[in-house]
Amino acid sequence: MPDLIDKIKDIYAAFGRGDIATILASMTEDVGWEFEAPAAISWSGIRHTPQEAAGFFAGIAAEHEDPNLEMTEFFSTGDAVAVFGRYLATVKATGIRVDTPVAHYFQFRDGKIARYINIINSAAFLEAGRGVAAGTRY
Residue 137 domain flag = no
Domain count, the chain: 1
User: What pTM, to 2 d.p., does this model score?
Assistant: 0.90
Residues 6+ apart with CB under 8 A from 15: 23, 69
* Structural domain range at position 52: 2-129
Residue 138 domain flag = no
Closest alpha carbon to 91 in 119, 34, 131: 131
Domain of residue 18, CATH code: 3.10.450.50
Q: Mind listing the pLDDT tens digit for each residue in 5-41?
A: 999 999 999 999 999 999 999 999 999 999 999 988 9
Alpha helices in 18-136 (DSSP H): 20-25, 50-63, 122-129
Question: Which of the four pLDDT bands, split at 50, 70 and 90, describes residue 129?
Answer: confident
Closest alpha carbon to 18 in 57, 62, 72: 57
Q: Mind listing the pLDDT tens digit for each residue in 80-117?
A: 999 999 999 999 999 999 999 999 999 999 999 999 99
Residue 82 domain flag = yes
Residue 135 domain flag = no
Instruction: Decide: 67 and 60 in contact? Cβ < 8 Å.
Output: yes
